[in-house]
Amino acid sequence: MFSEAWCGDCAQILPVIAKIVEASNRKIDLKIIIKSEHKDEMQHYLTNGTEAVPKLVRFESETLNEIGSWGARPEKAQAIAEHWKKNKATQTKEEFEKELHLWYARDRGQQLQSEMNQLLK
């Protein structure tokens, strides 16, 4: 997973991913990569042309072939972000961040877990 310490989405998502890894009984190996320290590698995993984090990339354990990726937010959180990008004139960044993190608090990782189940299938 590409991540950054300053990223609010990473702060919301990484603990849920860590719990999924823990529950896998060592069937999943999680490596956290700091995006700013691995810019060249990040270029292979852009989201809509940007270095959005968190970005989770799944590899087959035997061959290390990429078999899926996910990021940077759960679908509903992404919709909130897209709405803000289109409406910056009527909503401040602080209002957007409050709305986004309120959504994370109410969702309690449910949508992320659902999306991770789909990725792991």
Number of domains in the chain: 1
What is the tally of helices (H) and strands (E) in the chain?
Answer: 5, 4
pLDDT confidence of residue 41: 96
Could you list the mean pLDDT of each consecutive 10-residue stretch along the chain, which spans 121 residues? 96 95 92 97 93 95 92 96 95 96 97 91 78
pLDDT confidence of residue 48: 87
Considering only CA atoms, give the Rg of the chain.
15
pTM of the model: 0.89
| Residues spanned by the domain of 55 | 2-120
Instruction: Give the CATH number, domain containing residue 93.
Output: 3.40.30
Q: Quick one: how far is CA 14 from the chain centroid?
A: 8
